[in-house]
Structure 1
Amino acid sequence: MDPANGSGLNTAVERYYDITLDLYEDLWGEHVHHGFWDRGEAPARNGVDRHAATDRLVRELVDYAELPAGTRVFDVGCGIGGPALQLAGPLGCTVEGVTLSARQAARATEKARAAGLSDRARFHQLDALHTEFPDASFGAVWAVESLMHIADRPAFFAEALRLLRPGGILAVATWAVRDGALDPAEQELVRQILIHQVMPDFSSLEEHERLARAAGFTDVATADWSANVANSWDPGFAEIPQYDRGPGVMRDLARERGVDVLRFFHAGPLMKKGFDTGVITYGALRATKPQSDAGPQQ
């Protein structure tokens, strides 16, 4: 896979989520993203379970970005619709979600129908950087753990600015990498994670902030949530071992879906090591489109 080839990357991401949709939903529930716990909590001892923690991550990003109730939201990388249905339900938002995976879009649509939210949550198989939504269509652009799959991140921030109304909010939660140079062993760990998670590269939280400002956003801020989400990769709590019932199970999955499905299982230990060593980080970004668009900052 050539990260510079946007079409090739999109195809690889689409395939990965098509073949792992049921695995993620079986193990992680409504949300295909990290959970959020208070610092020092251990889920098996004094912390909430994964499902409550993933719900909480959505609430934390809503609060951090000060997302208004009832706003129209563009959901970049909507997955199977977990966050969108939270936004459309309790917050009364209207959500247009996009994903590269046709199976994810179909499953999200099904879940919205079952929840009685089809009028407020719609899902499409689209590239988030190439939609036909007009300028200033949304009050918020929302991206939970999708920006890592986008190779052209300056283009993402430019498109988010285009889609937002003046005063609109950008809310991002993303995997990231520690700012600064990495030693060879750290670089190899990052390389392996990128391969198994079908991502072109990582940016640091600091780089995300710089890109948002360069695109023309104001009131840009980031928060490091690494310690709050790292429990997501605890070997037992991640629940992946329930699928690890010997090489026969893995062979059957690989025959049925192709060897790419094995990336799902290899990623866990790599991500845990990344968080344990501080090489992989995780954070939130919030930003605002100026009331009068003065263009990118120099």
Structure 2
Amino acid sequence: MIVPDISQNAVAVADHYDELDPIYRKVWGDHVHHGLWVTGRETSGEAVEALVDTVGERLGLRAGQACVDIGCGYGSTARRLAVTRGVRVTGFTLSAEQAHYAAGHPVPGVDIHVRDWLANGLAAASAEAAWAIESSEHMVDKPRFFAEAHRVLAPGGRFVICAWLAETGASGWKVRHLLEPICREGRLPSLGTREEYEAMATAAGFTVTGYEDVSRRVARTWSICAGRLLKALLTDREIRRRAFGARNLFALSIPRMILAYRTGAMRYGILTLSKAGEGER
């Protein structure tokens, strides 16, 4: 597990997203996660929705199911799956700004809370499916992240995680100059490998039913974000003021992310987990 030299916590994560809120929406859009290029001809918007739809397919969502979006951001993934799959979604974000934006774009069946997933307050076995798209990286206690998901899911429930992962056995220079600074600048308390994620999931009681490395199919996201940020800095005075006056400087990590993907230091994995059914326990 890669841990930055400056300790990160949930307060720091919330501050990061609250302060950079206008920049994130300008550069990343409402979903605030990677796009997934399937044919290579998709627009960035289509690629982002393709990742969401892939999560829905991996979960096998059915109309009426109770679901949890762990680290829901602006609620866009929750809204899309609620509309396209007919599910009910409870979302959790640490950011008051993100929750405020979500409240202005309501969809029936979607309920967003400003609350730490590690103290979510949900009843045991109260959800049938859960997902975490690029939020597990921000969890201070990753084993507990998995344990809470297992507790909240009903028997037979499924859990899909889309995660930034460190290359297994990443060399020293990749850790020092790419991965550790990305953790520090992006407010990631730690960055795990595929093997570490699968071990924590198994320890929490899950069965790993699928894993796919889609690094090459998502990496284009960062060059798109770099272009959007450069344009915003050149044309938008407010974005320029916020970017250069911010305490949180994740913009510095965009070139690192591009290089991390190109060198293989950063991986992007989709992990599918299941909780044993009543007859399997």
CA contact (8 A) 1:226 1:282 kept: yes
- 1:60 counterpart residue number: 54
- 2:265 counterpart residue number: 279
- 1:44 counterpart residue number: none
Q: Which of residues 86, 96, 107 is equivalent to 2:80?
A: 86
CA contact (8 A) 1:151 1:201 kept: yes
Cα shift readout 1:44-78 (whole Å, capped 9, x = no counterpart): xxx22211111110011222232334311111110
- 1:220 counterpart residue number: 209
Cα shift readout 1:26-48 (whole Å, capped 9, x = no counterpart): 23222100000037x3xxxxx22
Q: Which of residues 224, 241, 260 is equivalent to 2:247?
A: 260
Cα shift readout 1:88-133 (whole Å, capped 9, x = no counterpart): 1111110000100111111112112xxxx2x300101000010221
Offset of residue 207 of structure 1? 1.6
One-letter amino acid matched to 2:246 = V
Q: Which of residues 124, 128, 131 is equivalent to 1:139?
A: 128
Distance in 2 of aligned mates of 1:3 and 1:191? 5
Distance in 1 of aligned mates of 2:168 and 2:196? 8
Distance 1:17 1:236, change over 3 A: closer
What secondary structure is seen at the aligned counterpart in 2 of 1:165? strand
- 2:45 counterpart residue number: 51
Q: Which moved more, 1:132-141 or 1:178-187?
A: 178-187
One-letter amino acid matched to 2:83 = G
Q: Could you say which structure has the greater relative contact order, defined with CA pairs below 8 angstroms and 6 or more residues apart?
A: 2
Q: Which moved more, 1:237-246 or 1:221-230?
A: 237-246
Distance in 1 of aligned mates of 2:95 and 2:239? 23
Superposition CA RMSD, Å: 2.5
Distance 1:251 1:81, change over 3 A: closer
How many pairs were matched up? 278
Cα shift readout 1:182-213 (whole Å, capped 9, x = no counterpart): 22344331111111111012111222112111
One-letter amino acid matched to 2:275 = K
- 1:194 counterpart residue number: 183
CA contact (8 A) 2:35 2:47 kept: yes
CA contact (8 A) 2:59 2:129 kept: no
- 2:68 counterpart residue number: 74
Distance 1:240 1:120, change over 3 A: same
Structure 1, gaps ≥5 residues long: 42-46
Distance 1:279 1:110, change over 3 A: same
Cα shift readout 1:224-263 (whole Å, capped 9, x = no counterpart): 01011000011576511112339x87773257xx5324x2
Superposition map of 1:96-245 within 5 A: 96-112=90-106, 117=107, 119-234=108-223, 238-245=227-234
Offset of residue 269 of structure 1? 0.6
Distance 1:221 1:210, change over 3 A: farther
Q: Which moved more, 1:15-24 or 1:224-233?
A: 15-24
Distance in 2 of aligned mates of 1:14 and 1:172? 20
Distance 1:291 1:19, change over 3 A: same
- 2:277 counterpart residue number: 291
Distance in 2 of aligned mates of 1:15 and 1:153? 20
Percentage of pairs with the same residue? 33
TM-score calculated relative to the size of structure 1 = 0.86
What secondary structure is seen at the aligned counterpart in 1 of 2:86? coil
What secondary structure is seen at the aligned counterpart in 1 of 2:22? helix
Distance 1:199 1:237, change over 3 A: closer
